[in-house]
Amino acid sequence: MARNDEVTVIKKYANRRLYNTGTSTYVTLENLAVMVKNNEEFVVQDAKTGEDITRSVLTQIIFEQENKGGQNLMPIAFLRQLIRFYGDQMQAVIPGYLEHSMSAFAKEQEAFRDKVTGAITQTPIKIMEAQVRRNTEMFRRAMMMFNPFVAGAMGDVEPGGEAGDPRSNGSTGQNRDDDLKAMREQLQRMQERLEALDDKKGA
């Protein structure tokens, strides 16, 4: 889907009404959800202070969607795990990991749909489990760069293989090197963001 790079400003008033400055109309959270699905970029500002409250409004949209019957995307186990990370020493790493994982999934979604549609010997659940295993291994590699002991606690999975798979032991190759290089670049960008935030706080 094509992306609209023009950013629309949505103003939120004290009465909780949302005003689209692009169309000069009042909108609802449902309207904003449609804008997100259409790749329409927008920011939400507090009408009085000008504060950027986009994150909280997007969270409200997710809350609304999750409360609709049959539209749940977040398993309870995932929500519990996410809550546990708040205040944890790993909290700074999670946003980048989730963003990278969702971005990778979005890029592969057409291939994923084809696999689900044409799967004969594999069920959609097994395909999803394979994707989760790949994401988990990517996360484990990231943790190894920060702290090898943390990575070891996540499982004895050698890069490029799955736990318990003897073929994965000592595996090497260009794919692993490329994965590690991409992960290092991602972590470097995350570190730069954290340092920029620290500089702003100290200013």
Largest CA distance in the chain: 62
Same domain membership, residue 182 and residue 114: yes
23/164: higher pLDDT: 23
Which one of 20, 43, 73 terminates a domain?
73
How many domains does the chain fold into? 2
pLDDT tens per residue, range 102-127:
887 777 776 666 666 655 455 556 66
Provide the 10 A C-beta neighbour count for residue 140.
Answer: 19
Which one of 55, 73, 91 terminates a domain?
73
Q: What is the mean pLDDT of residues 85-90?
A: 87
Same domain membership, residue 60 and residue 24: yes
Which region, left, alpha or beta, applies to residue 44 given φ > 0 means left and ψ of -120 to 50 means alpha? beta
89/189: higher pLDDT: 89
- 19 in Cβ contact with 11 (< 8 Å): yes
Identify the H or E element spanning 6: strand 4-12
Q: What is the mean pLDDT of residues 82-111?
A: 82
pLDDT tens per residue, range 124-162:
566 666 666 766 666 666 656 555 554 455 454 444 444
Same domain membership, residue 107 and residue 95: yes
Residue 35: pLDDT above 70? yes
**In percent, how much of the chain has pLDDT > 90?**
30
Same domain membership, residue 128 and residue 167: yes
Q: What average pLDDT does the structure give for the chain?
A: 75
Q: What is the pLDDT of residue 167?
A: 45
Same domain membership, residue 193 and residue 127: yes
Q: What are the DSSP calls for 119-152, one per residue?
A: -SSS-HHHHHHHHHHHHHHHHHHHHHHH-HHHHH
Which one of 73, 101, 123 terminates a domain?
73
Same domain membership, residue 50 and residue 92: no
Q: Using CA atoms, how far apart are residues 68 and 203, in angstroms rounded to an integer?
A: 44
Residue span of the structural domain in which 27 resides: 1-73
Nearest to 157 by CA among 175, 134, 131: 134
Same domain membership, residue 198 and residue 179: yes
Same domain membership, residue 99 and residue 10: no
- Give Cα 79 distance to the centre of its chain: 13
| Of the listed ranges 10-19, 44-53, 91-100, 122-131, the one predicted with least confidence | 122-131
Same domain membership, residue 115 and residue 104: yes
Taken in order 197, 198, 201, 203, the sign of the CA dihedral is negative
Provide the 10 A C-beta neighbour count for residue 141.
Answer: 20
Beta bridge partners of 8: 42
Same domain membership, residue 138 and residue 44: no
Same domain membership, residue 96 and residue 15: no
Provide the 10 A C-beta neighbour count for residue 139.
Answer: 20
pLDDT tens per residue, range 38-63:
999 999 999 999 999 999 999 999 99
Q: Which pTM was predicted?
A: 0.54
Same domain membership, residue 115 and residue 67: no
Query: Rg of the chain over CA atoms, in angstroms?
Result: 21
